Structure 1
């Protein structure tokens, strides 16, 4: 169980999908199934059990995949009278139309850690001090991060609060707020900073600097032109005065 300080983290919700066992295999039978039955083939494997070939409704799968957290949540597969808890391990798509052609599910065990890519959710971007007061631009280097944890601790997303991030500052992997029991798989040790990648930063982009320099140049040109006109007018007035004398 999480402590009070971690209650702001939202656990990944569980999705339930109806699947049916699939006895026929091979590219020919799979292709006919997709065309005629409007179903997507898949496989369930892992946790020391046999692989099970399955199929599921294309429409149902497409609707489920509209969620940003589909690839990072626990899924319960209902097959006949049995249910298995899994996570998505791989999704294959058609190269031309991006339609899902195959999906792999990995069984999970409640007492073993799983590695899942969890989306990063950025909040308070409009109130970011580096943008609002410093005129900076937010650059997102990562939109997801792979974490390792027990299934019960899997977060729905990792939240990055942008409100206090100033120009010239960045949030690295080591600076992410993680729930208790959750670690980042690729971070390495504290002595190895090469893997501590920047997640998001606020900076003044080169294009912004060029634009500011161009504006300053135009203002300077206008000022110099005004000074030149004033100087010419003064010289003309002095000449007129000399002629009158």
Structure 2
């Protein structure tokens, strides 16, 4: 999926200028990386806010158009108002198509309802991780990673090394020897008691 973000260069900087921007319905931001100078930008708040509600926005190479010039970027950070639904500031990192990137990608869990631990054991699926950091070239970045629970038994867990990844994509944690638990099926005591009573 191609997501386009429109921005303009920001001339005025500083706290006062940022406050004026927010009052005008804009969000201050910055683009950095790829060996180039950082560029201060501004974006239309509502357009950005609604785009950020899309999960793919946070795990995709975005096309950022600044004054009509497009470049590939990743969203790296966003600051929000403590209690209002307002984006206060956003950071984008330029992407070099020939350099590997590190970014977090969400998990999509499937087949929980047919997992033996749920269907036969009456267990409950616990999502220990909802996302993980991956390393890949920008054009290999998946929007999400599918986690298939169809063979998971009650009391058992699924780890990072059991998840099938697209070609060219690797979990950063595994490269550092950390084979974290992604999901587990918790046994429910009530189900075990009913089985014993039936016997």
Q: Summarize deviations over 1:3-58 as a string: whole Å, max 9, x none.
A: xxxxxxxxxx22101101101111111011101x2011100000011111001111
2:80 equivalent in structure 1: 93
Structure ranking higher in strand proportion = 2
Q: Which runs of 5+ in 2 are unaligned?
A: none
TM-score, with structure 1 as normaliser: 0.76
1:197 equivalent in structure 2: 180
Equivalent of 1:33 in 17, 21, 28:
21
Aligned-residue offset at 1:212: 5.6
Equivalent of 2:128 in 123, 141, 161:
141
Seen in structure 2, the aligned counterparts of structure 1 residues 211 and 152 have a Cα distance that, compared at 3 Å, is closer
Q: Which runs of 5+ in 1 are unaligned?
A: 1-12, 220-245
1:180 equivalent in structure 2: 167
Seen in structure 2, the aligned counterparts of structure 1 residues 81 and 216 have a Cα distance that, compared at 3 Å, is closer
Spell out the pairing of 1:97-112 with structure 2 (5 A cutoff): 97-112=84-99
What RMSD over aligned residues (CA atoms) do the two structures have, in Å? 1.8
* Cα separation, 1, equivalents of 2:150 and 2:78: 35
Structure ranking higher in helix proportion = 1
Equivalent of 2:104 in 85, 99, 117:
117
Question: What is the number of equivalent residue pairs in this alignment?
Answer: 197
Structure possessing the higher radius of gyration over alpha carbons: 1
TM-score, with structure 2 as normaliser: 0.92
* Cα separation, 2, equivalents of 1:173 and 1:91: 27
